[in-house]
Amino acid sequence: MKIAPRKPDLNVEDLAIVFVGDFNPKIFQPMWFASQGLLREAEAENAKVEIIHQDIASFSTDWVLIQVTRDRFSAMTKADAYQSHLSDLVRGALQKLSHTPVRQMGMNMGLRVRFHSEEDWHTFGHFLVPKSPWKGVLNKPGMKGLQIQQPRSDEQAGYVLVSIEPDARLNGQAVIRVNDHYEMPTSEVSQSAAQFVSIIEKSFEASMDRARAIAEGIVGNFLRVRTVDNGDVK
Amino acid sequence: MTTDTRAAMHGPSQEQPTVRDRLRSFEPEHFLRAQKLLASGTRPELDRPISTGADLPLRGDFILDPQPPRPPVVEGLEIEQAFEGHVVAVDREGELFVARLVDASSDAPDEEADFSFREVVPDDRHLVVPGALFTWTIGLEWRSRQSRRVSEIRFRRLPPFTAEAISQAEQEAVELSKLLEAQDAAEEKNAAGGG
């Protein structure tokens, strides 16, 4: 199938830093962040608290959503203008709780791709997942999700996982998610919070730049192809 | 389980709230399981008084099912111009500060600009000291599906340097110092040889 897609719009959907470890959710109240100088007092006072409980804490301010369960900490923002502030907040929190065992960390970015036509959107799916292998197996196969992983290129344990899926609610849009995942060896978990603080300090900006580059790269490759396999190959 | 034998033998006193009372106090939309548990009929453990141990028998099935959280109010910010600034000088009496600005959205040359304290939210004003970092974002902000033009100065709330970062900086300073000393020595030697 011959194609001539127009360049889609690519915008940051969200940024997040996630830890997996052992947490005490009750600590993570808006006023705790303010008392530690990590949030503005007014932001803490006006925070929308969903729940603060021994098993889960969840609140949002204008710019950040914090969710903590006993085994997971997540801080997310919807605008990349807050990228450096997200890093400051998470590093600050983890530095205050430096004895918290943390086993894994993800520095994550979601990017929304808005295609100019529904046809371009379908074509992007054919580009990523050729349909000939499904010929005679499925009727009108459509890509619902794709995950591609690469090992880390630095000395850390972990991987970079890229997920691409169409937006189920909005035809003509897709979301590319990049999960920059770090693993801490079991022997080092007791020192892990400090190590993760150091990794965020050194690598968060580069990780976010890489996520943008990955999304721009895959969209760029899409714009360079002139044919895709939609399953109608004779 | 509770360590209070009276509660186990005689049930809770009138004044003491029970686990059942506590479950009822939760908002139903947040605690679907709590509501299911309450609807599940007679369960003796629900009528135990709240104590340091009263929740324990429930831990297995008391799993919270909160609604999907509300995202941050700012749903997006289309950046038209973004600067990374650092404070060069502060005039507290005049309520002004001077900052050097690096344009993060283009390759435009660095600029220096004066800012009034009024442009900084009161909660950030104590952060305005020489060397402080901030972001200045001009763009279109989306809230509740409505856009509005914003210009926001937000000071960085950087955590203190880690011991590792300080140690690394000191090491780099020592290495740089040695390099400069070696260069000076080589220049002196050359000058002496040439004279």
What's the token pair of residue B18? Answer: 């029970």
Q: Which of A36-45, B2-11, B94-103 has the lowest mean pLDDT?
A: B2-11
Confidence tier at B44 by pLDDT (50, 70, 90): low
State whether A61 and B78 contact (CB < 8 Å).
no
Indicate if the pLDDT at residue B10 is higher than 50. Answer: no
Strands A72-77 and A48-52: unpaired
pLDDT at residue A220, as a whole number: 96
pLDDT at residue B56, as a whole number: 36
State whether B164 and A85 contact (CB < 8 Å).
no
What's the token pair of residue A131? Answer: 């349909």
Confidence tier at B162 by pLDDT (50, 70, 90): confident
Strands across the sheet with B111-116, in order?
Answer: B111-116, B96-103, B74-91, B133-143, B146-155
Distance CA B158, CA B167 (A): 18
Rounded to two decimals, what is the model's pTM?
0.78
| Preferred mutation among B123, B133, B136, B161 to probe A, highest tally of A CBs within 10 A | B123
Distance CA A153, CA B24 (A): 52
B71 touches chain A (CB under 8 A): yes
A48, A65, A89: residue with CB nearest B157: A89
pLDDT at residue A229, as a whole number: 92
Indicate if the pLDDT at residue B104 is higher than 60. Answer: yes
Residues of chain A with pLDDT under 50: none
What's the token pair of residue A95? Answer: 């530095």
Confidence tier at B123 by pLDDT (50, 70, 90): very high
Closest by CA to B61, choosing from B43, B73, B48, is B43
DSSP string, A74-141: EEEES-GGGHHHHHHHHHHHHHHTTTS-EEEEEEEEEEEEE-SSHHHHHHHHHHHS-SGGGTTTSSS-
Burial class (CB within 10 angstroms; exposed 0-12, middle 13-18, buried 19+) of B10: exposed
Residue listed under structure tokens 């006072």: A45
What's the token pair of residue B96? Answer: 């002004």
Distance CA B105, CA B83 (A): 7
pLDDT at residue B62, as a whole number: 41
B193: closest CA of chain A, how far (Å): 45
For B95, which DSSP code?
Answer: T
> Distances from the Cα of A204 to the Cαs of A107, A184, A201, A207, B184, in angstroms?
7, 17, 6, 5, 38
Q: What's the whole-number mean pLDDT along residues B13-28?
A: 57
State whether B159 and A40 contact (CB < 8 Å).
no
What's the token pair of residue A51? Answer: 């729940």
Q: Do residues A184 and A195 make contact, with C-beta atoms less than 8 angstroms apart? A: yes
Task: Please report which helix (H) or strand (E) contains residue B111, including its range.
Answer: strand B111-116
State whether B64 and A53 contact (CB < 8 Å).
yes
State whether B69 and A67 contact (CB < 8 Å).
yes
Task: Please report which helix (H) or strand (E) contains residue A43, including its range.
Answer: helix A41-45
Q: What's the whole-number mean pLDDT along residues B134-144?
A: 91
A67: closest CA of chain B, how far (Å): 9
Long-range contacts of A95-100 (CB under 8 A, 24+ apart): A95/A193, A95/A194, A95/A197, A95/B159, A95/B160, A95/B162, A96/A36, A97/A27, A97/A193, A98/A193, A98/A194, A98/A197, A99/A190, A99/A193, A100/A21, A100/A22, A100/A23, A100/A193
Each residue's pLDDT tens digit, B56-87: 333 333 434 444 566 778 888 888 999 999 99
What mean pLDDT value characterizes chain B?
A: 76
B152 touches chain A (CB under 8 A): yes
Radius of gyration of chain B (CA): 31
Neighboring chain A residues of B121 at a CB cutoff of 8 Å? 40, 42
Confidence tier at B114 by pLDDT (50, 70, 90): very high
Distance CA B19, CA B2 (A): 12
pLDDT at residue B3, as a whole number: 35
